[in-house]
Amino acid sequence: MLMLCCWCLLAAMACIAAAGPAMEGVPWTYAEQQLWPLRWPACGGPRQSPTRLDAQLLQLGSRPQLSFAQRLHAGRVHATNTGHTLQLRLEAGGAERTAPLVTLSAEGAPLSGTYRLEQLHFHWGNASGGAGSEHQLGGRLADAEAHFVFFGSQFANGSAAARQSDGLAVLAVLLEGRGAAGPDTLRWPPLGLQGRLAALAAVGSRLTVAADLRPLAALLRRAVRSVLAYGGSLTTPPCSPVVRWLVALRPAVVPRELLRELSSSLYAAGPGRQLLHNNRRWLQVRHHRLVVQHVSFD
Ligand SMILES: *[C@@H]1O[C@H](CO)[C@@H](O)[C@H](O)[C@H]1NC(C)=O
Ligand SMILES: *[C@@H]1O[C@H](CO)[C@@H](O)[C@H](O)[C@H]1NC(C)=O
């Protein structure tokens, strides 16, 4: 036992020694997240995500505004298995191909400035279902969680923005595979991916599908009407504490088959051939961070 622990410590120290200044390409796994702070000190810092959230201080009427490119009906979805998640980049049709697809802006609360959507990606559990979300809302984890990653429009891209305080804004939507959609739930749109995830089995594989993006725009519009906002971090290394989090209070219902497909089709980065599942970071201590609920009725 003692030998084993010494070995762990030595292995961890060797890892630190091997980590140079350029750590963005350093491999990591969810199974070893207790080691993240050794290589990426911010992962052990005070402003980390995800965290437990419950309804807090209420602010009525202030919420971010969303704007969308016009040709969303002729959109495309570029999907990638990054080895840690399924990442989607969206593209509007026709001449608007290079215009910002979704823009989020607000003045003062719950964030300040204009942000552009860069990508969205997912965190999920395993084929036995349950507990795949990162944030815990009202005392429970959801089946999965979607993160819409926006970067401050004054930056060239997401990586440049991730070096600045509040450079990123992430809208999180919790996903539930159980139950029927009620008046308060959102409905996750198909996006042309269901039944096709086997094409993304290998790490680094890509798939482009044509999809009508208007249902996704409708979901985003409803999601931002009621959010819990707090200051946190990336939930993957290097855990940069630069994210304004907006967690939608309404979950979205997804088909159970899509969740099953997600947790059994993709393989993960790392040694051996491991399924990509349970790709969620553990809950982090909230400390004294304020969580504000923003609600609007328009
Ligand atoms: C699924 O994940 C849960 C929670 O992490 C774990 O307890 C369970 O053993 C896993 N099941 C399978 C089949 O991997
Ligand atoms: C992001 O922008 C920075 C600064 O302009 C640039 O150096 C870098 O290459 C860009 N990265 C990507 C992935 O485009």
Residue 23 has pLDDT above 60, yes or no: no
Instruction: Pick the ligand that lies closest to the CA of residue 119.
Output: 2
Which two tokens mark 253?
A: 């219902």
The predicted model gives 77-87 an average pLDDT of 97
Average pLDDT, the chain: 88
Q: What is the pLDDT of residues 100-156, one digit of tens each?
A: 889 999 888 888 999 999 999 999 999 887 799 999 998 999 999 999 999 999 999
Buried/exposed 106-134: b ≥16 CB within 10 Å, e otherwise: beeebbebbbbbbbbbbbbbbeebebbbb
Q: What is the mean predicted confidence (pLDDT) over 79-101? A: 88
Which amino acid residue places its CA nearest to atom 11 of ligand 1? 128
For residue 157, give the ligand 2 atom closest to its CA: 1
**What is the pLDDT, as a whole number, of residue 11?**
42
Q: What top-level class would CATH report for the domain 42-274? A: alpha beta
| Residue 8 pLDDT exceeds 70 | no
Task: Identify the residue whose C-alpha is closest to ligand 2 atom 7.
Answer: 160
Ligand nearest to the CA of 274: 1
Q: Is the CB of 126 under 6 A from ligand 1?
A: yes
Q: Probe ligand 2: pick from 82, 149, 154, 159, max atoms within 8 Å of CB? A: 159
Nearest of 127, 211, 121, 212 to residue 173 by alpha carbon? 121
Q: Distances from the Cα of 134 to the Cαs of 93, 125, 282, in angstroms?
A: 32, 10, 7
pLDDT at 289: 92
How many angstroms does the Cα of residue 282 sit away from the middle of ligand 1? 14
pLDDT at 288 exceeding the cut of 50: yes
pLDDT at 252: 95
- pLDDT of 15 over the 90 cut: no
d(CA 156, ligand 2 centre) in Å: 6
Ligand 1 atom 9: the closest Cα is on which residue?
128
pLDDT of residue 148: 98
Q: Is 202 in the pocket of ligand 2 (CB under 6 A)?
A: no
CA angle 102, 24, 114 (to 5 degrees): 25
Mean per-residue pLDDT for 189-206?
Answer: 95
Indicate yes or no: pTM above 0.85: yes
Sequence-ordered list of residues with C-beta below 8 angstroms from that of 227, at least 6 positions apart, any chain:
63, 110, 171, 246, 247, 248, 249, 293, 294
What is the distance between the alpha carbons of residues 196 and 223, in angstroms, rounded to a whole number? 26
Category of 57 on φ-ψ map: left (φ > 0), alpha (ψ -120 to 50) or beta = beta
Question: Measured from the CB, is residue 274 less than 6 Å from ligand 2?
Answer: no
Give the range among 62-66, 69-73, 130-134, 145-149 with minimum mean pLDDT: 62-66
Closest ligand to Cα 127 = 1
Q: Whose CA is nearest to atom 14 of ligand 1?
A: 126
CA of 125 to the centre of ligand 1 (A): 8
